[in-house]
Amino acid sequence: MVKIKLKDGSVREVAKGATVYDVAKEISGRLAKEAVVGSVNGKTVDLSYKLEDDCELSILKFEDSEGAHAFRHTSSHIMAQAVKRLFPDTQLAIGPAIDNGFYYDFDTEHKFVPEDLEKIEVEMQRIIKEDLKLERFELPRNEAIKFMAEMGEQYKVELINDLPEDAIISFYRQGDFVDLCAGCHVSSTKEVKSIKLLSLAGAYWRGDEKNKMLQRIYGTSFPKASMLEEYINMLEEAKKRDHRKLGKELGLFALMEEGPGFPFMLPKGMVVKNQLLKYWREVHDKADYVEVETPIILNRKLWETSGHWFHYKDNMYSLLIDEEDYAIKPMNCPGGMLVYKTELRSYKDFPMRVGEIGRVHRHELSGALHGLMRVRAFTQDDAHIFMLPEQIKDEIINVVNLIDEVYKTFGFSYHVELSTRPEKSMGSLEDWAHAENSLQNALEELGIQYKLNPGDGAFYGPKIDFHLRDSIGRTWQCGTIQLDMQLPQRFELTYIGKDGEKHQPIVIHRVAFGSVERFMGILIEEFAGKFPTWLAPVQVKLLTIADRHSPYALEVSKKLRAKGIRVELDDRAEKIGFKIREAQLEKGPYMLIIGDKEAELGAVSVRSRDIGEIGSIEVDAFIEVILAEINERALKSKFEKAE
């Protein structure tokens, strides 16, 4: 017998060699039915995994990220099997699960078209109904290479060749289909109830532009048809909210061939961006941050000291100045270290909170560029906090609270993920353990639930990531807190301690918005272009009914502008209905209609984008309410609907 400690803390004894599925079935029939994979001592395993020793066991369902990953990984295998049945000469590349779905890259002479997706879907449904068991088997490296070569899968051979000579290579078989795969998977193809192939794209083998362009098919899958339907509806809603479409229609930003990945911010977009930065500065001033600015171009020696030249060079733009290598900064951090070194520091200076709204550039593959979400140049709302070791936990708590305040201002909920030491990292294991424990203890003291991502930290320190959830259920990674004990050491940062000796400070790197441009893109889609009044490029649109109302409209416009309200006047000789329809398309929060009655009474007729007709209001009364709405950064109108 072996002892199994379950997620709820209870302990069960099961026969040695019992599978994860056996344990799930013993707990309850429903759990066995919903189980996708298991986690044994933190390692994800198939339900067929045999328990030979005492261990900690979690039964994972589709609702768990590991469960959804295995479910969709199996879906990618089903798609690959369907493609091989329909197009036998196809070679398989890679087919991972991704957030909300999966994809597979194929090399075939056949050019996939949207109609092919329907045929592949039908074949996938046949494979699902065949109830093919997924069976794992392993081969030594040499045998694995021979096995894949005999099947004509040259991309798989290349992948295996990159593995160590003593590696044991795992495969999964389902019927007559076999794929190179580390796992994990569901037990049978019949478990994948609802599938949908979504789109086609090109993808370079291994993401390298020098390699062959492959054909990629994206899809998604769910255990219930209702969940798939809900997801498809969400995608349809997302199309309506696409920030690229709305950004063009609302005149916020432009994407041009002359600068792929380098967005042009237009006047109305600059209003939104500047309002975000104004808010950022207010929050940070209140939290005792000072602001600095560091150069965009810095010498190679700096990037060698920071480690970026060796760890991040492929993503950096470099140039030659006076016969020396320089780089356009991909991050603000190294410049922030030099700012610290401009003076001799004392322990009394800590915590030292330094913010920077810095322009950074990173090389992204052209195929990865996406509106404002993935660009090559963006504005990062960075900050570096220098502190004593005993101040770490309190400062992390302060940062978490600041980021929480920022996200609540925009109405976002979020979840938190903690990422630990990656395989490629700088510094000692002891330093990493101390840093990781400090982040973990701060989250636990705040009572914040978090997901652990082993091995996903930055190369210089562990990090906490904040993933926003928007109004249609999508998540976006924005805020980050990174604890760093490496850069202070590499830059030889010191302070004079209470003992009069030199010591090395601890540094927190953190962002709230992340990329300001990306955050704008998220906001455009979150609000569907209907910005709250404080963010709206045009807060009030004045519409005249006839030419004779223009003098009064100009008077109202000047009065609003004097109070800092952003106004546009439309006094064209057009019918009022036409003007209203055009204003509605601009998605501004308020329209003020001006006719004979309004001019006579010194009033305006107010229409709210969100609540409709409000009625006639004196200009001063309107100003009082809208200013309260702006100053409070309210998300909804403070006016009441007319009876």
Please give the positions annotated as active site: 333, 362, 380, 382, 384, 463, 509
Alpha helices for 287-391 (secondary structure H): 300-306, 308-311, 333-340
Please state, in angstroms and rounded to a whole number, the distance separating the CA atoms of residues 420 and 431.
Answer: 12
Encoded tokens for 428: 């000692």
The answer to whether the bond into 351 is cis (omega within 30° of 0) is yes
Please state, in angstroms and rounded to a whole number, the distance separating the CA atoms of residues 460 and 425.
Answer: 6
With the CA atoms of 159, 161, 162 and 168 taken in that order, what torsion angle do they form, in degrees rounded to the nearest 10?
A: 90
Residues 6 or more apart in contact with residue 72 via CB below 8 angstroms: 97, 98, 101, 102, 220, 221
Please state, in angstroms and rounded to a whole number, the distance separating the CA atoms of residues 593 and 297.
Answer: 51
Of 548, 492, 199, 507, which Cα lies nearest the Cα of 382? 507
- Note whether 426 and 307 are within 8 A (CB): yes
The answer to whether the bond into 181 is cis (omega within 30° of 0) is no
In 505-566, beta strands by DSSP E:
506-515, 540-544
Please state, in angstroms and rounded to a whole number, the distance separating the CA atoms of residues 420 and 422.
Answer: 6
Phi, psi of 83 (to 5 degrees): -65, -40
Cβ neighbour number for residue 490 with a 10 Å cutoff: 17
> What is the bridge-based pairing of β-strands 590-594 and 540-544?
parallel
- Note whether 296 and 334 are within 8 A (CB): no
User: 72-87 burial, b for 16+ CB within 10 Å, e for fewer?
Assistant: bbbbbbbbbbbbbbeb
- 10 Å CB burial of residue 383 (0-12, 13-18, 19+) is buried
Phi, psi of 366 (to 5 degrees): -55, -35
Find the radius of gyration of the CA atoms of the chain.
Answer: 29
Of 280, 278, 327, 282, which Cα lies nearest the Cα of 302? 327
Residues 6 or more apart in contact with residue 626 via CB below 8 angstroms: 533, 539, 540, 565, 590, 638
Please state, in angstroms and rounded to a whole number, the distance separating the CA atoms of residues 563 and 540.
Answer: 12
Encoded tokens for 27: 């707990």
Please state, in angstroms and rounded to a whole number, the distance separating the CA atoms of residues 407 and 470.
Answer: 11
- Note whether 598 and 616 are within 8 A (CB): yes
Encoded tokens for 194: 């609802």
Helix axes 65-86, 114-129, angle to 10 degrees: 110
